[in-house]
């Protein structure tokens, strides 16, 4: 009922650290194989009796068992917590992630099995194979207690900028002397805005206890996709390199082919749900609920002007009985 369309394949409960009124000073340093270095910090500082600030950070730099493969990433997460009164809890937060790494597509195959090459073998040009991700997320959470009613509101805005450029190992010739390489890059820019409100209320009717839940969700997502194909020597989309030495420095020009993506998508969604958890006795509970989802998707192809649209409306119903064993 709470997650709707996002819960069909499972849900990850991602919880970030929030500022509290207890001071924290925590740092860790990690080192490992292949030059791995990682440092993290967690600082929580109360700013009076009703305000607190917390900063979490991480920096990691590492090579790999794969030749010429490495990564470097930095993350920061400052949060502020405000407690206007004993029944209100407000948190605002910002998340920043900068990720840089080598794009690595692994080894090729031969006759249906992984190729018999050293596990560290890299295909293509490592200097021209890269992944870049920049993430900026702003969020605000409000919790308020009104007697037996609990109010929660979550608002989040996310800006995601991701790019990767890679070489793809392909077919091996029958003599196992040459392997085919292709290349492409892809850029995705996405902006999300989501707001979710949940209400929980507890009451009794006769000897039966009810925990009622009601919620709404609204969201907007905008995505831009752009892909280029790699042309070796600005002429051909594939080359063959030695099976035993598949790295190459052949010049590659990345530009659009006739089938490369250049599109944008816009998604609007709205949902509402209501649920009742009924305690019939100490040992038997029944959960019943219904959820309605409205999903409006529009697609525009920048290459030819094609537009596609789809609206989905779905009602989910849930009735579940649970037995609880007593002492």
Which residues, 6+ apart, have CB-to-CB distance to 197 below 8 Å? 151, 152, 153, 154, 215, 216, 217
* Rg (the chain; Cα; Å): 26
Q: How does pLDDT run along the chain (327 residues), one tens digit per residue?
A: 677 766 667 778 888 899 999 999 999 999 999 999 999 999 999 999 999 999 999 999 999 999 999 999 999 999 999 999 999 999 999 999 999 999 999 999 999 999 999 999 999 999 999 999 999 999 999 999 998 899 999 999 999 999 999 999 999 999 999 999 999 999 999 999 999 999 999 988 888 899 999 999 999 999 999 999 999 999 999 999 999 999 999 999 999 999 999 999 999 999 999 999 999 888 888 999 999 999 999 999 999 999 999 999 999 877 776 665 555
Structure tokens at 132: 């870049």
The C-alpha angle with vertex 308 and arms to 260 and 228, in degrees rounded to 5, equals: 10
Per-residue model confidence (pLDDT) at position 281: 84
What pLDDT does residue 316 have?
83
- What domains appear along the chain, each with residue ranges and CATH number? 4-323 (2.40.170.20)
37: which strand partners? Answer: 31, 61
Structure tokens at 48: 């009076």
CA separation for the pair 18, 141 (Å, rounded): 11
What local confidence, expressed as pLDDT, does residue 265 receive?
A: 97
Q: What is the pTM of this model?
A: 0.88
């Amino acid at each position: 009922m709470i997650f709707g369309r996002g819960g069909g394949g499972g849900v990850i409960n991602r919880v970030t650290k929030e500022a509290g009124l207890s001071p924290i000073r925590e740092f860790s340093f990690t080192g490992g194989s292949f030059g791995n270095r990682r440092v993290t910090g967690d600082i929580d500082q109360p700013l009076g009796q009703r305000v607190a600030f917390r900063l979490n950070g991480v920096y990691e730099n590492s090579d790999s068992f794969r030749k010429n493969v490495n990564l470097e990433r930095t993350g920061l997460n400052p949060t502020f917590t405000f407690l206007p009164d004993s029944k209100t809890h407000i948190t605002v937060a910002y998340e920043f992630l900068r990720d840089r790494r080598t794009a690595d597509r692994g080894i090729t195959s031969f006759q249906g099995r992984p190729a018999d090459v050293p596990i560290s073998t890299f295909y293509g040009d490592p200097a021209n194979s890269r992944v870049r991700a920049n993430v900026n997320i702003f969020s605000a959470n409000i919790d308020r207690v009104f007697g037996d009613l609990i109010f929660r509101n979550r608002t989040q805005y996310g800006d995601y900028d991701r790019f990767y450029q890679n070489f793809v190992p392909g077919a091996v010739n029958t003599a196992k002397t040459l392997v085919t390489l292709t290349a492409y890059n892809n850029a995705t820019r996405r902006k999300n805005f989501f707001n979710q409100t949940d209400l929980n209320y507890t009451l009794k009717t006769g000897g039966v206890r009810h925990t009622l839940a009601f919620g709404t969700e609204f969201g907007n997502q905008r995505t831009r996709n752009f892909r280029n194909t790699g042309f070796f020597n600005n002429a051909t989309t594939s080359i063959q390199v030695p099976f035993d030495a598949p790295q190459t420095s052949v010049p590659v020009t990345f530009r659009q082919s006739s089938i490369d993506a250049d599109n944008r998508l816009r998604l609007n969604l709205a949902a509402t749900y209501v649920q009742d958890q009924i305690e019939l006795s100490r040992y038997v509970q029944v959960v019943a609920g219904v959820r309605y989802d409205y999903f409006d998707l529009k697609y525009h192809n920048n290459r030819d002007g094609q537009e596609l649209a789809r609206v989905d409306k779905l009602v989910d119903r849930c009735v579940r009985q649970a037995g609880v064993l007593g002492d």
